[in-house]
Structures are given as structure tokens and as C-alpha cells.
Amino acid sequence: MFELFKRREFGDYISDTFQFFRQNGKHFFKTYFTISGGLLMLLVVVSYFLFKVYLDFFLKIDNTAKNADFLTGYLYENLPLIIIAAIFVFLFMILLSMFNYAIPVIYLDLYDKHKGNTFETKEVLARFKKSFKKILVFFLGIVFLVTPILMVLFVLLVLLCFILIGIPLLLMAIPASFSWITLSFFEYMNTDKTFFDSLGEGFRHVKSQFFPIVGSCMIMYIMIQITMTVFSFIPYFFGMASMVTTLQNPTSDSDPFSTMRIMMLVVMVMTMLMSYILNNLLIINQGLIYYSRREYNENISSTDSIDLIGSE
């Protein structure tokens, strides 16, 4: 059984994340795709059509550049549809993000309670349904209370980049903010603390081991970005090769730029899909940080060992 409650340092946070997936990856992703598979498929469809409309729209602007009122007229004529689509996409992204963040948190909590991955997908789903209101409150609080404050902070750090000091501060602030919010979510889901108390506890978790936590988050993010780049480059490479082949054969009736547009759409959709799937690595990484910090503060593994000896 993988040990959740363990005192970890910088290297342990990264190595134990991969060790967790080596031992439990099959069961975890089976649970994840069973619950979120339908939403992820809907994400692919919605993303494809949104990106297609986006590309076609700007290509049309290029072709009608002489018409200065084209953009204004287009927005005015389609304003109700645009508003409805924006609301739908916003609500859909909130729902998908709730699933994407909550499933690893619930999974680790059940893993701890069952002392292994002996639970079924329906238990995760039942816990999600039971905690839906709580999860929704947390996400709305993050979107409408925390995000505006972080946006102001990031704008100030971007301005400080002009005097160079803002660059390292910005590089640390982004993973620190992610760790703070994620650890707060773990605290909020696994205790009876309020939204603001959980934010305070999450902040204390990050502060207590700042550089190992921020550093491991940054390394995991870089690994995920490299993986996404490799996966997205494959269809892009085939699209470029197809376009070059078509250009070298001018007698062909196919449009080389049409093939390129399709490949661009595929790359965009794959990138978004992979970001949601690979985000599980980051959340599990933060989960191990959360359980590690609890071990530092509560000595849970030592208490369990004493109780086990006493029971014998």
C-alpha cells in the first residue's frame, strides 16, 4: 500500500507522485475516466466547434478587411447567441473543473480510509454528489473572491518585471498561488472548516515549507508542459508535412491551408484535453503535500503504529 502520511521533502514530493501512479494509476484513471469521460468527450466537441468558429471568423475578417464595420455588425447581429454560448461555456467549464479537481481529492481520502484502492467508482461518485454543494461554494468563492485579488497581484508583478525583480517573484507567485488554492481545497473537503478558515490553513501549509512545495509544483508543471508539447507537435508535424506535399504538387485540387487549419484545430483540442487529464498529476502531487503536512503537524502514522501495536 502506498503511504500517504509521510514526512516528505522536495525530492520526495516529485518521486512519490510518480510512485503513486505506478502503483495506483490504472485504478485511478479508470475511476477518473468513468466519471469524467462523458464531460471530456463533450469538451472535445465544444472545443472543436469553438476553435473552428474562431479561426473561420478571423479568416473572414482578413478577407473583408475593407469593410470597417464588419466586426461591429457581426457582434451586433449575433449578440444574443454569443451571450448564451458564453454562459453555457462558463457553466460547463466550472462543472468540468469541479469534477477535475474534486475526483483526486475524494480519491485520496477514500484511499486513506480504505487503506488502499479497494473502493469502487460509485463510492467516489457518491461522495462527489454528497459534497456537491460544498465543492460549488468553494469554486464560486475562488472565482469571485480570490481570483480578482490574484489578478491584481499578478498585474503588479508583471509591472515589476520592467525592473527585473518582478520576474523571479512572478515565477514563484504562480505555483505558490496554485498550491495555496489546492491545499485549501484539500483542507476544505477533508475537514469541517469554513471556506476562509481553509484558505488560512492552506496558506500556512505553503508558508511552512515554501520552497519545497513551490519548487515541486513548478517542476511538475514543467514536466506536464513538455509532455503536452510533444503530444501536440505530432499532429502539427503531419499537418506541415501534408501542406508541403500539396504545395509541391500544384495540380492537386486539395487546399493545403485547409489541411493546416484542421491540424491547428486538432492541436488546440488535444492541448486542452491533455491539460485536464495531466492536471491530475499536479493535484495528486499537491495531495501528497497535504498529507505530508498533516503528518508533520499531527504525527498520524506514528499514532496509527502505536494503535496497531496496542491492538496486538
Residue 74 CA to residue 66 CA, distance in Å, equals 15
Predicted pLDDT of residue 309: 45
Q: What is the DSSP letter of 281?
A: H
pTM for this prediction: 0.85
Residue 283: exposed, middle, or buried by beta-carbon count in 10 A (0-12, 13-18, 19+)?
Answer: buried
Nearest one of 74, 78, 52, 50 to 61, comparing CA atoms: 74
Nearest one of 221, 208, 229, 202 to 287, comparing CA atoms: 202
Predicted pLDDT of residue 153: 92
Residue 176 CA to residue 241 CA, distance in Å, equals 41
Predicted pLDDT of residue 180: 95
Mean pLDDT for the chain? 83
Task: For 116, list phi and psi in degrees, rounded to 5.
Answer: 145, -175
Predicted pLDDT of residue 269: 79
Q: What is the DSSP letter of 146?
A: I
Predicted pLDDT of residue 27: 93
Low-confidence ranges of the chain (pLDDT < 50): 63-64, 68, 305-312
Predicted pLDDT of residue 246: 61
Q: Dump pLDDT digits (tens) for 268-281.
A: 778 888 888 899 99
Nearest one of 209, 206, 284 to 14, comparing CA atoms: 284
